[in-house]
Amino acid sequence: MAGNTQNPRVVAITGGSSGIGLATAELFARRGWHVGLVARGAGPLEAARSAVLFAGGNAGGRVSAQAADVTDSDALRRAAAAIAAELGPIDVWINNAAVSVFAPFVEVSEREFERVTDVVYMGTVRGTRVALEHMRPRDAGVIVNICSAIGLRGVPLQSAYSGAKYAMRGFAEAIRTELMHEGSRVRITTVYPPSVNTPFYSHATARLDGLPRPPPPIYQPELVADAILFAATNRRRDVLVGGQTVQTGLLNAVAPGLTDLLMARIAPMSQTSHNQGIAEARDENLFTPSTRPSGTHGPFDRESLPFSAQAWGTRHRGTVGAMATFGLATLGLMLLPRRRRKLP
């Protein structure tokens, strides 16, 4: 299903003007796909369009940039129609738009809580509905929901975001099985990123003794973009990115009480920073769109990892399986009892 210059495919990405969304758009463009970008701010959206065109180079893909807020169903539907009209039928729809508030729950207003839920969860619901309107008549397409490690384990200081990400999981499971029941070939997959170096933390509203930051280890957004492309072009129900994500989900499933204690002790501190560079990058966008382009990376390049062995293994299960089989066979041969030679 990879894009090519002879028969390019079309991907639409909400939250496509910065961070993971923009990194993903650039990757699809490099592979020759036509890319539809959906975001709120006209200025950042145009900057993202130029960046994606530049990334695509001579790969042959085109770019359509459509201003829309995922909390507005009509605007989202118009954006999807414009993308399809300009680029062709939408093959992949990526629900990626997100906002957050970093604060203790009692300090988050009901309006703020509703806004995070409306963008992160209901934005995914609306995006999925619009995508299905385009895909079900053709009985083809892939919807990729960008969840989070926080969707496997809630964390303090992000109650609204944690709740919305958990809701995304249940929603995807319900719709996936409905599509399976009707025999549809439309597919839904969910990607779970770890802590990622994006402008997300600079955009988030915060009431902390410091400023929001991703807890370590932190990965670069290009790693997540690779996982999203993989999820869109391979039949995987879920794609977890990074050992941190796998460990978080496993620990919470096996020992939730212990995980509660660990989160209470370390999570607030690991999500707070007093770095001046982080302060200079602040650009809150909970209720209003950013006015300046953000790019793909946040202010955490120095401590961010470009590679994950776990993510590589997820994409190369056959190779990992063969290596594991070879290793076990070698170990078995080493442990076999050796026959002792009889002395003459």
Give 68-117 pLDDT, tens digit per residue. 999 999 999 999 999 999 999 999 999 999 999 999 999 999 999 999 99
Question: Which pLDDT belongs to residue 314?
Answer: 80
Q: Residue 321 is inside which H or E element, if any?
A: helix 317-335
Residue 204, judged by CB atoms within 10 A of its CB (0-12, 13-18, 19+), counts as buried
Structure tokens at 26: 């650039």
Per CATH, the architecture of 10-305 is what?
Answer: 3-Layer(aba) Sandwich (3.40)
Whether 201 is catalytic is no
pLDDT at 334: 56
Query: In what helix (H) or strand (E) does residue 226 lie, and over which residues does it extend?
Result: helix 221-233
Give the active site residue among 161, 166, 192, 201. Answer: 161
Per-residue pLDDT of 163-194, as tens digits, reads 999 999 999 999 999 999 999 999 999 999 99
Q: What's the mean per-residue pLDDT of the chain?
A: 91
The residues spanned by each domain of the chain are 10-305
Contact 223, 298 (CB under 8 A): no
66: closest CA among 43, 29, 37, 46?
Answer: 37
Average pLDDT over residues 228-236: 96
pLDDT over threshold 60, residue 22: yes
**Residue (of 95, 70, 72) closest to 169 by Cα position:** 95
pLDDT tens digit string along 103-158? 999 999 999 999 999 999 999 999 999 999 999 999 999 999 999 999 999 999 99
